[in-house]
């Protein structure tokens, strides 16, 4: 029987949060990380470095932001939806096809695009090559144009979601669209998986990424009883074949653990500090983190200011296996100044000397990653820790 602490260690090790370079170095490490994690959520918010870059930097010390674009160009990864906009390994492309076909067949989808505009976009890209959205914006402004800009944006997104276009690259967050046959490798498997194959893909993706999982996590944001039934059947077969084992701990949901990990020696996580993105794979399943790590985390950037408890864009602070707080921060890039708006220290049982130096080292690395050269500390909670924290951080730069 595994303990909660052992489950924590297993999942953090599988997530690549227990050592400095768990996936190696450079661009190859990005491929290794993505194949382990299963997906990498893309986010447009840039209060600090965007989530997809932050998540990889946390695991790859020499990570560079251009790696993702290069891997798209090299046809090793692609963009689509997992539970949100994501980068995925190109080997998994066929498992995105059911959702693409579902969008194509859904006449009531929230992206209701004009069929004539969609056909014009496809014909233009087929004849002229990859296009950005703003290329069509210029066309829409021409005198006598029969379409305008807003429907074009909707049409582009609809074509992307139903698989008629793919994202061939980015300039920052500006997407370039092209036809799938010019983006995908020539030998890619385009076979649409059966519902049972898709359920098997989901189960194995989560087990590979976390070492153990729950039924709720596997079916996160998946609609309908059919997918739950298929997932249960896949788990049942995997138990019969002794690939996974169901673990029952009082007060917790049933956990399905990879059998080989049960037999391996579970190592405790070293007392390193990690500053996680709000969209990091290790934190994105909020119920799981609350249940198994006793850390109640919600991102508050979508919450009205007067209702926020911690701040606009708080980063969870992980020390070893324990979340010790969160830090609301912002990179003022024009000033090259990084501001800690509010540092919330929540686990008062953790000795200051245990986390202080690792935190200072990590925050300095993160400041440099955000292309800043100075630090401003505004607020610390609880207040009785403020003086010690200020002294700790005052000589970082």
Q: Nearest Cα to 152, choosing from 124, 180, 190?
A: 124
Q: Are residues 156 and 49 in the same domain?
A: no
Residue identified by tokens 């049972």 is 196
User: CA dist 226 to 27, 85, 100, 389, 396, Å?
Assistant: 39, 24, 18, 52, 55
d(CA 301, CA 67): 28
Helical pair 195-210 and 225-240, crossing angle rounded to 10 deg: 60
What integer pLDDT is reported at residue 262 of this predicted model?
Answer: 83
Geometric angle at alpha carbon 169, from 163 and 170, rounded to 5°: 120
Report yes or no on 256 lying in a domain: yes
Report yes or no on 284 lying in a domain: no
Q: Are residues 35 and 117 in the same domain?
A: no
d(CA 315, CA 278): 6
What integer pLDDT is reported at residue 140 of this predicted model?
Answer: 53
User: CA dist 352 to 166, 197, 388, Å?
Assistant: 49, 49, 9
Report yes or no on 139 lying in a domain: yes
142 has a pLDDT exceeding 60: no
Per-residue pLDDT band for 268 (boundaries 50, 70, 90) equals: low
Q: Are residues 46 and 90 in the same domain?
A: yes
Q: Are residues 22 and 63 in the same domain?
A: yes
Single out the residue in 154, 182, 210 at which a domain terminates.
182
270 has a pLDDT exceeding 80: no
Report yes or no on 292 lying in a domain: no
Q: Are residues 158 and 207 in the same domain?
A: no
Average model confidence (pLDDT) across the chain: 92
User: CA dist 20 to 59, 61, 71, 210, 273, Å?
Assistant: 7, 7, 22, 18, 11
What integer pLDDT is reported at residue 323 of this predicted model?
Answer: 96
Report yes or no on 228 lying in a domain: yes
The separation between CA 356 and the C-alpha centre of its own chain, rounded to angstroms, equals 27
What integer pLDDT is reported at residue 146 of this predicted model?
Answer: 43
Q: Are residues 160 and 210 in the same domain?
A: no
Report yes or no on 213 lying in a domain: yes
80 has a pLDDT exceeding 60: yes
Report yes or no on 144 lying in a domain: yes
89 has a pLDDT exceeding 90: yes
138 has a pLDDT exceeding 90: no
d(CA 131, CA 134): 8
Give counts: helices (H), strands (E), the chain: 15, 15
Single out the residue in 263, 285, 310 at which a domain terminates.
263
Domain holding 336, by residue range, is: 298-393
Residue identified by tokens 């390994």 is 89
Q: Are residues 16 and 124 in the same domain?
A: no
Q: Which helix (H) or strand (E) holds 283?
A: none
Q: Residues 97-137: pLDDT tens digits?
A: 999 999 998 877 767 888 899 999 999 999 999 999 888 87
Domain count for the chain, please give it.
3
172 has a pLDDT exceeding 90: no
The mean pLDDT value for 305-317 works out to: 96
149 has a pLDDT exceeding 80: no
Structure-block tokens of residue 82: 């997992």
CATH number for the domain that contains residue 139: 1.10.10.10
Q: Nearest Cα to 292, choosing from 329, 262, 328, 321?
A: 321
Single out the residue in 263, 283, 313 at which a domain terminates.
263
Per-residue pLDDT band for 332 (boundaries 50, 70, 90) equals: very high
Q: Are residues 118 and 50 in the same domain?
A: no
Q: Are residues 200 and 337 in the same domain?
A: no
Q: Are residues 89 and 150 in the same domain?
A: no
Residue identified by tokens 């399943």 is 285
| Full-model pTM | 0.93
Q: Are residues 20 and 82 in the same domain?
A: yes
Q: Are residues 50 and 83 in the same domain?
A: yes
- Phi-psi map region of 336: left, alpha, beta (phi>0 left; psi -120 to 50 alpha): left
Report yes or no on 125 lying in a domain: yes
């Amino acid at each position: 029987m595994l303990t909660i602490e052992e489950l924590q260690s297993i999942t953090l090790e599988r997530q690549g949060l227990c050592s400095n370079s768990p996936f190696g170095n450079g661009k190859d490490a990005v491929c290794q990380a993505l194949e382990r994690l299963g997906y990498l959520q893309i986010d447009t918010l840039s209060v600090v470095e965007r989530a997809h870059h932050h998540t990889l930097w946390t695991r790859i010390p020499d990570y560079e932001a251009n790696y993702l674009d290069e891997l798209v160009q090299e046809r090793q990864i692609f963009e689509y939806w997992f539970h949100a906009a994501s980068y995925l390994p190109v080997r998994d492309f066929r498992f995105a096809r059911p959702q693409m076909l579902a969008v194509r067949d859904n006449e009531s989808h929230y992206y209701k695009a004009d069929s004539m505009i969609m056909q014009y976009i496809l014909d233009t890209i087929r004849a002229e090559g990859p296009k950005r959205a703003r290329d069509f914006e210029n066309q829409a402004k021409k005198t006598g144009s029969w379409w305008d800009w807003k429907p074009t944006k909707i049409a582009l997104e609809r074509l992307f979601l139903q698989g008629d276009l793919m994202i061939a690259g980015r300039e920052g967050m500006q997407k370039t669209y092209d036809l799938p046959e010019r983006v995908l490798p020539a030998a890619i498997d385009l076979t649409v998986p059966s519902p049972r194959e898709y359920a098997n893909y989901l189960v194995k993706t989560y087990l590979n990424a976390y070492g153990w999982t729950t039924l709720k996590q596997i079916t996160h944001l998946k609609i309908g009883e059919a997918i739950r039934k298929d997932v249960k059947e896949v788990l049942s077969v995997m138990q019969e074949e002794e690939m996974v084992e169901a673990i029952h701990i009082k007060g917790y949901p049933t956990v399905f653990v990879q059998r080989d990990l049960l037999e391996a020696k579970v190592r405790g996580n070293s007392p390193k500090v990690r500053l996680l993105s709000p969209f990091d794979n290790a934190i994105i399943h909020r119920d799981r983190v609350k249940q198994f790590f006793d850390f109640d985390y919600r991102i508050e950037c979508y919450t009205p200011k007067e209702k926020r408890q911690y701040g606009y864009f708080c980063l969870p602070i992980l020390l070893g296996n324990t979340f010790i707080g969160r830090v609301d921060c912002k990179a003022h890039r024009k000033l090259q100044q990084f501001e800690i708006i509010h540092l919330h220290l929540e686990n008062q049982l953790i000795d200051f000397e245990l986390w202080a130096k690792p935190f200072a080292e990590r925050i300095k690395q993160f400041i440099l990653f955000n292309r800043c050269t100075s630090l401003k500390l505004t607020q610390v909670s609880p207040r009785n820790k403020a003086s010690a924290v200020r002294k700790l951080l005052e000589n970082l730069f």
